[in-house]
Amino acid sequence: MNSARLCSRRHFLQANGFGLGSLALATLLRKDGLLAAPVKPNLGPDNDFNLLPKQSHFDGKAKAMISLFMMGGPSQMDLFDPKPMLTKYDGQNFPGEIKYDNLAQASSKVFGSPWQFSKHGECGMELSELLPHLGKVADDICLIRSMVSGVSNHAQGLYAINSGRITAGNPALGSWLTYGLGSETEELPAYMVLSHPGGLPTFQGEHFTNGWLPALYQGTVVRATEPRILNLDPPPSLAGDGQRRQLDLLRSLNEEHSSENPGELDLRARIASYELAAKMQTAAKEALDISDEPEHIKKLYGVDDPVTRDYATRCLIARRLVERGVRYVQVLNAGQSWDQHSSLLGSLPKLCAATDQPSAALVTDLKQRGLLDSTVVHWGGEMGRLPVLQNDAGRDKWGRDHNTFGFSQWVAGGGFKGGHVHGETDEWSHKAVVDPVHHYDWHATLLHAFGLDHTKLTYKRNGLAASLTNDPGARVVTQLLA
């Protein structure tokens, strides 16, 4: 793992196609110097924010993360959280208390999962038949069945799980990680977002905004179709020295302008973005091109199958990005496709068919490359669903309403336990009752896996030290960690 990362830096030194030798060397020396010193982000208006690698607060196994985000609220009792009681009471009135997202409206008829669960792996993790591929990596994943955010609706749910707060405009998880740890690559953005051909998820840019962190830490969106990044080719007459000379002049003009405008962090971010763009011209093209991946690898992900092709390609690209030092990669769906208020029987299998194999392949592939130890793979959405049915207008129209009081997600690698199931919901898969994990607990634990103390990773804002885990009750859930 470490060698792969070092490799990307060595690669950078050798491949100075733009005549970057001295600049590169200087930067690397600076990086190494900084690597040796404990770096607490240094704050204040005249401060030089950058993407140089930062030392974590303590040793953490995780170095990178791939978030397979499933906007809409995947149905946990149909995928991850088997409940015989639901089957037993299927079609009958729900005997307990429901926390409807919408009070007094949803039906109270129990909706037993129509799908079978079976045990997988040595750990015997019970998973739905909709996720046959995930079953094959059950021993590598940590399944959390007791997620809670307790907030209402998609917007708040997303903000909570993605930014730790329930309003818009706050920094996303990926921004916090790149802010806290910097980047391991100089050739690619530290934080990259792989979007779906159908468009961005609901709430669009909120998924990868830097919020009030400096603009340097925002996610860079990669297009869903080829060319995934536009304008990677310099004009032939300027390729090489010519463009380097342009960028040098540009830098000197911009530095002067920036010194006239102290405290304007966006100007600093733009100066950095030109340097990054120069390197991306070769690096991004190479990183995003899966054509030289061996056939068996493409097949493993499902690149060969039209049903899985898109998601498989993006998962494979995500692995390539992490391999090349990208800190945080988000693989997004479109709209809120996991929001099955109706027609769950038809749409859930389709969503699973498109994503199950690629998601599991990502775990397998990272593992066989020795990268899983240092890469967190996360699969989950902003909420789950209710045990009772919604839209009682014929079986094919049945759906389930929102549930933020108990839902599931899984995580693999980066120091999280494999073959482990954490927490329980009640017998109906409605509310987390054993070892609940609030979104802020999840964030605290995740940062811990990266060697970051969630109370210390802060940014000074309007006189206050703001952190990702904006809740005094946030705690590291050590049972999740190996």
Partner 1 sequence: MKRIGLVGLIVCVGMARAEEASLTFEKDVRPLLKAHCTLCHGEEEKPKGGVDLRLRRFMDAPLDGGATLLVPGKPEASELVAIIERGEMPKKGHPVPPEQLDIIRRWIAQGAKTARPEPETLGHGPLITEEERSHWSFQPVKRPEVPEIEGAATPIDAFLATAMRKEGLDFAPEADRATLLRRVTLDLTGLLPTPAEVETFVADPDPTAYEKAVDRLLASPAYGERWARHWLDIVGYADSNGYAEADSARPHAWRYRDYVIRAFNEDKPWDEFLREQLAGDELAGATHADYQAAVLDPKKRDQLIATAFLRMAPDGTGDPNDDAKLARNQVVAEQLKIVSSSLLGLTVACAQCHDHRHDPISHEDYYRFRAIFEPAYNWEAWRPPAQRLYSLYTPEERAKAAEIEKAAAAINAEAREMSKKFLDEIFEVEILKLPEAEREPYRLARATAEKDRSPEQKALLKKYPSALALYSLNLYDQKKQDLVDAKVKEADALRATKPPQSFVMALTEVKGQVPESKLFNRGDHEQPVRSVTPGELSILAAPEIESFQPAAVSSGSSGRRLAYANWLTSGQHPLVARVFVNRFWMHHFGRGIVATPGDFGLAGDRPSHPELLDWLADEFVKGGWRLKPLHRAMLLSHAYRQSSENPRSLEADPDNRLLARHKLRRVEAEAIRDSILAAAGTLVDKPFGPPSTIARDTAGRIVTGIDKGTITAAKVEPGGEQDFRRSIYIEVRRSKPVTVLDTFDAPAMAPHCEMRSQTTVAPQSLLLMNDTFILDSARRLADRVHEEVPGDERERLRRAWMLLFGREPSESDILRSLDYLKLQTATLTVFHARQPVPAPAKDAPVPAPPDPAREAFASLCQVLYSSNRFLYVE
Rounded to whole angstroms, how far apart are CA atoms 482 and 478?
A: 8
What are the phi and psi torsion angles at 54 (to 5°)? Answer: -110, 150
Rounded to whole angstroms, how far apart are CA atoms 378 and 442?
A: 11
Closer Cβ to partner 1, 207 or 298, answer by number: 207
Closer Cβ to partner 1, 45 or 294, answer by number: 45
∠ CA 385-399-439 to the nearest 5 degrees?
15
- Give whole-number Cα distances, 191 to 177, 275, 284, 321, in Å: 9, 16, 13, 10
- Nearest distance from C-beta of residue 275 to partner 1, angstroms: 9
- Nearest distance from C-beta of residue 213 to partner 1, angstroms: 12
- Nearest distance from C-beta of residue 317 to partner 1, angstroms: 16
Rounded (to 5) percent helix, strand, coil in the chain: 40, 15, 45
Closer Cβ to partner 1, 87 or 153, answer by number: 153
- Nearest distance from C-beta of residue 431 to partner 1, angstroms: 6
Helix (H, G, I), strand (E, B) or coil at 251: helix
Asked whether the beta carbons of 434 and 424 are under 8 A apart, the reply is yes
For residue 347, the Cα-to-chain-centroid distance in whole angstroms is 23
Closer Cβ to partner 1, 21 or 370, answer by number: 21
Closer Cβ to partner 1, 76 or 218, answer by number: 218
∠ CA 450-287-278 to the nearest 5 degrees?
95
Asked whether the beta carbons of 324 and 185 are under 8 A apart, the reply is yes
> Residue 335 carries which DSSP code?
B
- Nearest distance from C-beta of residue 331 to partner 1, angstroms: 18
| H/E stretch holding 173 | helix 173-181
Listing DSSP states for 186-201 in one string gives SSS-SEEEE-BTTBPB
Rounded to whole angstroms, how far apart are CA atoms 75 and 110?
A: 14
Buried b (16+ CB within 10 A) or exposed e, 358-395: bbbbbbbbbbeeebbebbbbbbbbbbbbbbbbbbbeee
Closer Cβ to partner 1, 37 or 103, answer by number: 103
Closer Cβ to partner 1, 128 or 313, answer by number: 313
- Nearest distance from C-beta of residue 191 to partner 1, angstroms: 10
Q: Amino acid identity, residue 381?
A: G
- Nearest distance from C-beta of residue 308 to partner 1, angstroms: 20
Closer Cβ to partner 1, 18 or 410, answer by number: 18
Strand partners, 125: 120
Closer Cβ to partner 1, 88 or 245, answer by number: 245
Rounded to whole angstroms, how far apart are CA atoms 459 and 405?
A: 30
Rounded to whole angstroms, how far apart are CA atoms 358 and 301?
A: 4
Rounded to whole angstroms, how far apart are CA atoms 183 and 50?
A: 9
Closer Cβ to partner 1, 406 or 451, answer by number: 406
- Nearest distance from C-beta of residue 336 to partner 1, angstroms: 13
- Nearest distance from C-beta of residue 461 to partner 1, angstroms: 8
Closer Cβ to partner 1, 37 or 104, answer by number: 104
Asked whether the beta carbons of 310 and 318 are under 8 A apart, the reply is no
- Nearest distance from C-beta of residue 274 to partner 1, angstroms: 5
- Nearest distance from C-beta of residue 230 to partner 1, angstroms: 6
